Amino acid sequence: MAEEIDDNEFYRENFSADSDWEVFNAQLGEILQKWDVSADAESRNLKSEEIFTCNWKVEREKLDMLKNGIEVEYHQAVLEDEELSREETKENSCLQRTSCHHDLMSTGSSFGPPIRSSQDLHILARIYGLRRFIVLHPVNCTLNYMKSTSEFNFFLSAVAVVSAEVQSVVPIFVQIYDPKWNFYTGVALAPALRTNFRLIGLEKAPPECRFLMGLLTLFREKVPTSYSQAAMISVCTTYALDTMRIRMPMYVPFDHGLSSEDTVVDGEVSDLEVQQFCALPHGYTPESRTEIYLVYTWPELSEHVAFDSEQRSDFVPSKAPLGKVYLSVEASSYLSCCLRDYQSVAEVTRSLESFVGRNFSGTSSGAEAASNPLDRITEHKLTKRREGSFELPSQAGLTKRLPGPMTESELSELLAYLFPDMHPEMALFPYAKKSFKDKFDPMRFKSAVPDSLICRLSCLLATCHAHLGSVEGMAQAWAAFTRQLRLLWDNSLTVPGISAGFPDTRTCLLHQKLQMLNVCVERRVQREANSKRKSEGMVRKASAEKEELGEDDEDEDEDDDEGEFFDCDDLTAGAGSPTKAVLSLKPEGRLRRLNNERLLEEPDEYLYIPETQDPVPKTEDQLEDDAEVMLKLGPGSGLSTQMMCTSLLSDMEAFKAANPRGAMEDFIRWYSPKDWEEVTDELGQVQHKLSIRMTTEGNTWQKVWEQAQAVPVSRQKRLFDDTNEALKVLHYMETRKMHEIYNLTIIPLLHSAILKLADILSNAKLEDLFSAQIEKLLSDLCRLSRSHSDDPTPIKPLLDDLAELERRFYQFKCFERLSGYPNRSTLQQVKLQFEEILRNDNCCTIVNRRLTAAGDDTLYDILIPKLEEDMAKRLISKDYIIRLDGDTKSTEKGLYLGPQFMRAIVTGEKLRLCGAFTESTAFV
C-alpha cells in the first residue's frame, strides 16, 4: 500500500524559506543600522522643560507589512551643543547607564505645559521625557490599526530581537489600538539591562489608585528587585478657572448693517481703537476665548515626606513650592479672515467683463475712434478747469448701469474714499498734504506709500470681497475705479494720492501705472499750455501788424502766419527726416550757455545747451518688454540700435540746431564729459581727445551723429506720446483678470494690514511689547515684495504669523483683565508679566517659594481666592511620577540595577498608568 501512494499529491511546506517575521526583522535591522542607533555618545543632561520647547527632527521609512505597510519614525530632539560639566561626566561614568536612563530620571522633564501648543512634540516625549525614540505604526493607522494580541506580539518580539542584534540603545515603541487613545508598548536595551515600557488605561480606577499612597504600593509591586533607597516623587495638579471672553465687535468699513452675531454673545465689550482709518475690518469673532489653567508643582520629594490619600492630602495649592498660570487662547480676527478669504481670488481667472459687462468704462470705442484725437485734446479749457467754481461732469454716469451687489450710493461712498477731491460733499478722509515720500522707504518694500490711493484701493477690494459682495463686489469696485481714472484723464486732472514724478520701479507695478498716468496728464497740460501761449502770441503779433499795414496786406500776412503756425505745431509730422530738417545756420532752440565753453572749430562762438525733450518715462513691465525685444533682436540689429538711440538722436538734432557749427566733440563735452579725456603729449602739453569708446570704428555715437540733422525741439516728433501712453494705462486697468488684480494689490494689502495692526497695538500702548513681531512681519513682507517668481506669492506663512500676533493681542487683553488692571496692578506690571508668557510658552510664574514668597498685590493673591471658591470642581487632573534609580556610581557591569519609572495621570475617575520598568538580563 505504501508503494502505491504518490508523494506529489500531498502539500509540502518548505521550512527553509524565510517567514514574514524574519523578513521584517531583516528590513528593520537595515533601517536601524542606517540610523546608527547603537551609538550613545556622551550627552549633557536636559535643562528644565527643554524637551518641551526645543525643535524635533523626524526621519521616516516605510516597510511592506500588513495591508498598507508599517511606517518607522525616528524622533530626535535638536539640542544646543554645550560642554559637559564635571558633575555630569562623573555621573555618566556608569557603563550601563544610557541617555534613555538619564531622561527617565530627569526631574526637569517631568511636566510640560497643560496645553499641547506644539504639534511637533510627540506624546511619548511628554510622558517619558525621552530625547530620542523610534515608533512603529501602520501607515494608515486611523483605519488599519493593530487590535489583536498576535499582532502586538509579532512586532514587539521583532523589536526586541532586532534591538539586541544591532545593539540599539534607543527605545523602540509599537503603537497599538486606536491612535486617538495614544497607547504604546516598547522596549529599550542596555548592557545587561532591559527596560519594558507599558501603558494601561482605566475608565473607573479603584479609589486608592487615584492617590499617592495607593500608587506607591502598586509601584513597589511592579519593581522587579529591591532598592535600598527611597523612591522620589514629583506631583503636578492642574486647575481650570472660568473661561474668559472679551467681546471685540466686528467693524467693517462702509458696511452700515448691524453685526447680529456679536450682539448675542455675553462678555465684556472692548472696542478696538485706531488712530489712522484703514478700509480693513477688525475685531474678533464671538467664539474667541481664553482658557486659564493654574498648575501647581512639587518637583522632587521623597516618598516619606508627603502624604496623599482620600482622607488627607498635602498637595494643595497653598503648600505648592511652584505655581504657574497658563493661558490657552483661541481667537479668530476678522482682519486675518479677510486676508485669508482674499487668497481665493488668486485662483479666479475670469475677466472683469464677465462680471460687469462690456464697455463698462462708459466710453464707446467706435465713437472714440470717429473723433479726431487732436480735437479731443484741444477742446478742454484749462483756465476754467482750474477755477474753484468748476464742476466736474455728473458722477451718476460712473456708478449707474454697473452690475454688482452694491447700490449706487454705496459705490459712491467707496469712490469718495478713494478720490476725496472729486467728492467734496462726501469726503471724510482726505489725503495728507505732506510729501508721500517722507512716509515710505521704497528701498525696503516694493509696495506703495501707506494710506496712498494704492493702499486704499487694495484694502477696499479685500473688504468688498469679504463683506460687500464677494468676487462680484470686488469686480464692481474695480470697474468703478477704472471709470474714475478715465474721467480724470478726460478732464486733464491728476490722480490723487500718488507720489509725484516718473514711475518709480522700486514701488509696486500698480503704483507705477498710476504715476505714468499722472505724467501723461502733466505733459498734456504743459503741451496744451505751450500751444495756447504760442497761439496768443501769434494773435498779438498779427494785431500789431494790422495796425501798421493796410487791410489788404493784413489779410495776406494773416494767411501766411496761419500757414507757418500749422507747420510749427504739427507734432506728428516726420520732422526728423532730412526733407523736413532745417539746414540753415541760424541757431534755434537754445536754452543757455555751457559756462564759458566755446566751440572747438569756431573759438569765437560759445557752446550752448539746447532745449531737449523730456526723458521718456517707463514702467517696470515696459522696461522688461524692451529688454526682451533687445535680447531677441541681438546686439548687431539695426532695429535694436534704433530703439536704444531714439533719445540720443533727438538730443543730437537739438544740439545741432542750437550750435550749427558744432562738432561731435562739442556734443560729447556737454552730453558725456567723461568721454572727453585729458591727455599729455610728448612735449608735456595738456590736450583733450575723445575716449576710446567714442573713437572705435563703427561706434554707434558716430553713426547717430552722421544721421542727425539740425532740428530744434519744437519741430521734432514727440518721443513720448502722452495721449497714447495714457490710453495704454487705462486699457491695462480695464482688461485685468481677477487673479491679475489680486497680484497687483496683494503686497500693498499686506503692508496696510501690518500697519493697521501696529496702529492698534500703538493705541493700546503695547508697541514696545510686540515690536519684534511687527519687525519680523515687515521683514517677511520685504522679502515677498522683492520676489521675482512667476508663481503666486506664498503669503500663507506671513498670514499665520499675523494671525498669531492678533491672538497674542487678544491673550494680552484677557490677561490684563485677569491681573486686575487698572485697580490692582499697573500697565507696566502687566506687561512685565506678559513678557514672561511670551518667553515661556504661554505660562507665567505666580509663586516660586524657592526664590521668594508671594506678597500682597500679586497675581497669586488675585487668583487664589477665585480658585478656593470651588477647588474640588476646578481640579481637572493630577499627575504623579514615581522614580527609583540604582547606584549610578557603579562602574562594574551587573551592579547597576537600572531606573524604575511610573507616571499616573488621574482625571476624575479615569486613570492612565505609564510604566518603564528595568530588569537585569545578566542571569537570564
Half-sphere exposure in the Cβ direction for 88 (13 Å, CA): 14
Per mean pLDDT, which of 198-202, 252-256, 623-627 is the most reliable?
198-202
Better pLDDT: 197 or 319: 197
Close Cβ partners of 423 (under 8 Å, ≥ 6 residues apart): 395, 412, 415, 416
Whether the predicted pLDDT of 159 surpasses 70: yes
Better pLDDT: 744 or 638: 744
Whether the predicted pLDDT of 857 surpasses 80: no
Residue 468 DSSP class? S
Residue 623: what pLDDT? 86
Whether the predicted pLDDT of 557 surpasses 50: no
pLDDT band of residue 45 (cuts 50, 70, 90) is: confident
- Cis peptide preceding 281, ω within 30 of 0: no
pLDDT in tens, 701-721: 888 888 888 888 888 888 888
Residue 398: what pLDDT? 52
Whether the predicted pLDDT of 686 surpasses 80: no
Residue 442: what pLDDT? 72
Residue of 669, 659, 525 lying closest to 589 (CA atoms): 659
The stretch 487-499 carries a mean pLDDT of 92
Q: What is the pTM of this model?
A: 0.79
Residue 75: what pLDDT? 94
Better pLDDT: 786 or 903: 903
The stretch 503-527 carries a mean pLDDT of 92
Handedness of CA 837, 839, 843, 844 (dihedral sign): negative
The stretch 254-279 carries a mean pLDDT of 67
Residue 563: what pLDDT? 34
Whether the predicted pLDDT of 90 surpasses 60: no
Which amino acid makes up residue 872? Answer: A
Mean pLDDT of the chain: 81
Residue 589: what pLDDT? 86
Using CA atoms of 116, 117, 123, 128 in order, give the dihedral in degrees to the nearest 10.
-90
Residue 121: what pLDDT? 84
Residue of 593, 695, 712, 600 lying closest to 652 (CA atoms): 712
Whether the predicted pLDDT of 512 surpasses 90: yes
Residue 843: what pLDDT? 87
* % of the chain beyond a pLDDT of 70: 80
Handedness of CA 91, 95, 96, 97 (dihedral sign): positive
The stretch 325-336 carries a mean pLDDT of 93
pLDDT in tens, 106-124: 998 899 887 665 556 899 9
For residue 175, CA distances in Å to 66, 156, 532, 760 come to 14, 10, 89, 48
Residue 12: what pLDDT? 55
For residue 188, the cross-strand partners are 195
pLDDT band of residue 528 (cuts 50, 70, 90) is: confident
Residue 473: what pLDDT? 93
pLDDT band of residue 42 (cuts 50, 70, 90) is: low
pLDDT in tens, 190-224: 888 899 999 999 999 999 999 999 999 999 999 88
E-assigned strands of 37-162? 55-63, 70-78, 132-138
Whether the predicted pLDDT of 452 surpasses 70: yes
Residue 853: what pLDDT? 45
Domain assignments of the chain as residue spans, ordered by start: 20-81+93-199, 350-359+400-532+717-736, 590-711
Dist CA 128 CA 111 (whole Å): 10
> What cell was used for 720?
513720448
Dist CA 883 CA 881 (whole Å): 7
Dist CA 171 CA 196 (whole Å): 9
Residue of 240, 50, 115 lying closest to 843 (CA atoms): 115
- Asked if 62 and 69 touch (Cβ cutoff 8 Å), the reply is yes
Residue 226: what pLDDT? 81
> What cell was used for 113?
505645559
Q: 247: part of which helix (H) or strand (E)?
A: strand 246-247
Largest CA distance in the chain: 155
Which amino acid makes up residue 720? Answer: F
pLDDT in tens, 5-16: 455 555 555 555
Residue 893: what pLDDT? 53
- Asked if 169 and 98 touch (Cβ cutoff 8 Å), the reply is yes
Whether the predicted pLDDT of 829 surpasses 50: yes
The stretch 456-482 carries a mean pLDDT of 94
The stretch 760-782 carries a mean pLDDT of 93
The stretch 550-568 carries a mean pLDDT of 42
